[in-house]
Amino acid sequence: VDHKTYVIASDGDLEEGISHEAISLAGHLKLKKLIVLWDDNSITIDGSTSLSTSVDMIGRFKAAGWTTDICNGHDAADVFRALSAAQNAEAPVLIACKTIIGFGMPNRQGTQKAHSDAPGAEEVAGTRKELGWDFPPFVVPDDLLNQWRAIGNQGKPVWQAWMHRKNAHAKAAEFDASTADALPAAVGEGLVALKAKMSAEKPSAGTRKHSEKALEVINGATPLTIGGSADLTPSNNTKTKNIDAIAPGNFAGRYIHYGIREHGMAAAMNGMALHGGVIPYGGTFMVFSDYARPSIRLAALMGVRSIFVMTHDSIGVGEDGPTHQPVEHLAALRAIPNLLVMRPADGVETAECWQIALGHSKRPSLLAFSRQDVPTVRTIHTAENLSAKGAYELVGDANAQVTFLATGSEVGIAVQARDILAKDGIAARIVSMPCWALFEEQSEQYRSQVLGPGTVKIAIEAAVQQGWDRYLGATGRFIGMHSFGSSGPAKDVYRHFHISPEAAVEAAKKALNRS
C-alpha cells in the first residue's frame, strides 16, 4: 500500500477543534503520505474569517511539524507544481490554495453570499457570461468530455502496474482477504475457547480486564486489528502484549497512542475503516464519549466497522465522582441508529460482544466495560453466541412471577435479588440484555418469549431510565439513576443510589403487592 491520502479542507474545517487534534498528531507521527489542500478563500458563512480568527495558519502547521506550500488555487499548473513537490516530503504537507470563493460570479464572488445562498437566474446568467460558458444546463461538450476521459485513462497503466506488483507478492491472498473483510477462523475459535475457560474458572474481574483477555486472543489470531487509546491505555486495557506501538516514522506496530484527542481518535478510526484492510478499535472512558460523539455518529451513518471501547461505564467508576460517572450516556448512545451499543455482564459475554463487533463489517460497535469487578454469571459453557440476539434468558423458571432485566455489572445484582426472592417463595427469572439494538431486530415472538409475558418486570441498570419503559409495561419498576453520581467507593455509591439486590427485591414485592 503506497498511495497517499489527499484532503480538501475549508477555512471552517481548520477552525474546528478536531483540526487541532488531527494536525498535531499527524505532525508528531510524521505522516508523510498525508497531503491537505486548504481552500484558502478567507470566507465563512458569517463573512470574512477576520471576524473570528487571526491565526497564522501556515505558522500553525509549521509549528506542528508539517511541510507547507502556497499556490494559486485557480492555476492548474501551480497546483500541479505544489502537489509534485509534496510527493517527496518527509512530513505531512499543507498546500494553501489561494482562491476566490464564487469565482466568476459577478455580484457574489469573494463574499459570504457565494457560500450557501442560491444564486438565482440573473446571477447564473452573469456567471456564464463571465466564464464564457454558452452550453445548456447539464451539457458537457464532447471535447471536454474526451479530455477528462483521457486524463482518467492516464492512470490505467499505473493501476495495472500496481496490481501486477500486488498479485506477484507472497502475501497477495492475505491482502485480498483483508480488504474483503474476511476474518481468520482462528479468531472465532479462540474466542469460543476463551468463553469455555471463563465459564469453567468463573473469574471475578472488571469487564475491561476481560476485554483485554479477549483482545489478546483477537490480536494474536489476526493482523488486521489496529488498537489505540486517548491517553488511557492502562485504564482501558486496550494494548495487548502481542502488539507494538506505532511511533514517528515507524509504522510496523499496531497500536496508536492518540493522546488526549477523543474526537480525533474516533475520526481516524473511521478513516481507517473506510480505507479497508484493517479493523480499528480505540478506547476512552465512557463519559468522554461525548467528545467523540460526532465521529461515533458518522461511523453509524456511513456504516463502517469502527469499534469504540468505552470503559468505566457507570457510577462504579467510584472516587472520581460525578464528572467521570456516565449516567445519561447509554441512553444517548443507544439513540444513534445503526450503532451496536453492547454492555456485557462478565467475561463470557465480553468475548461474545467482541465476536459480534468483529462480525459486523458494515456497522460500528460501542463496547461498554466496567471498572469494578463483576462475578461470572455464565457458568455453563455453550459455543453458541447467546449475546448475538441482544438479550436472552440467563436463568429461567417456569413458575416465575418476576423477570429481572439487566445489563452489564447489574446482571450480578439481579442474580442476588433472585436468590433472595427464592427464599421468600417468589420465583423469578433473569434476562441479560447486552445489546438492545440486536434485541429489537429479533422476531416479535422471540422478544415476547424472552421478556416473559405475564411476569412483573424489574429493570436494573446504573444509568438513567430513558428507553427502559418499552420493556417494563404498566406494572414494571426501574432500579437505576435519576440524578448525577457521587464520589466514593463503587459499592458505597451503588448503595447510596439504592442500586442493590435488596432494592430490586423490594421493587419486585411492591409490584406484586407483596410488600
Q: Which residues participate in catalysis according to the annotation?
A: 262
DSSP 513: T
**Angle between the N-to-C axes of helices 410-423 and 501-511, in degrees from 0 to 180, rounded to the nearest 10:** 60
On whether the CB atoms of residues 240 and 211 are closer than 8 A, the answer is no
Q: Which residue has the cell 502496474?
A: 161
Cβ contact 439:433 at 8 Å: yes
| φ, ψ (nearest 5 deg) of residue 271 | -60, -45
Residues 291 and 299: their CA atoms lie apart, in Å, by 14
* H or E, element range at 456: strand 456-464
Cα dist from 504 to 92, 252, 325, 467, whole Å: 57, 51, 22, 19
Q: Are 390 and 472 in contact (CB under 8 A)?
A: no
Give the whole-angstrom CA distance, residue 179 versus residue 272.
12
Chain Cα centroid distance, residue 90: 30
C-alpha to C-alpha distance for 197 and 201, rounded to whole angstroms:
6
Q: How far apart are CA 350 and CA 411, in angstroms?
A: 13
Residue type, 432: S
Within 10 A of 112 (CB to CB), how many other CB atoms are there?
Answer: 17
CA dist., res. 378 & res. 207, Å (int): 13
Q: Which is nearest to 287 in space by CA: 250, 236, 239?
A: 236
CA dihedral 464, 469, 475, 479 (to 10 degrees): -20
Residues near 442 by beta carbon (within 8 Å), at least 6 away in sequence = 389, 390, 450
Three-state secondary structure of 475-500 = CCEEEEECCCCCCCCHHHHHHHCCCC
* Cβ neighbour number for residue 142 with a 10 Å cutoff: 8
What is the per-residue DSSP string for 330-391?
HHHHHTSTT-EEE--SSHHHHHHHHHHHHH-TTS-EEEE--SS-B-----S--SS-GGGGS-
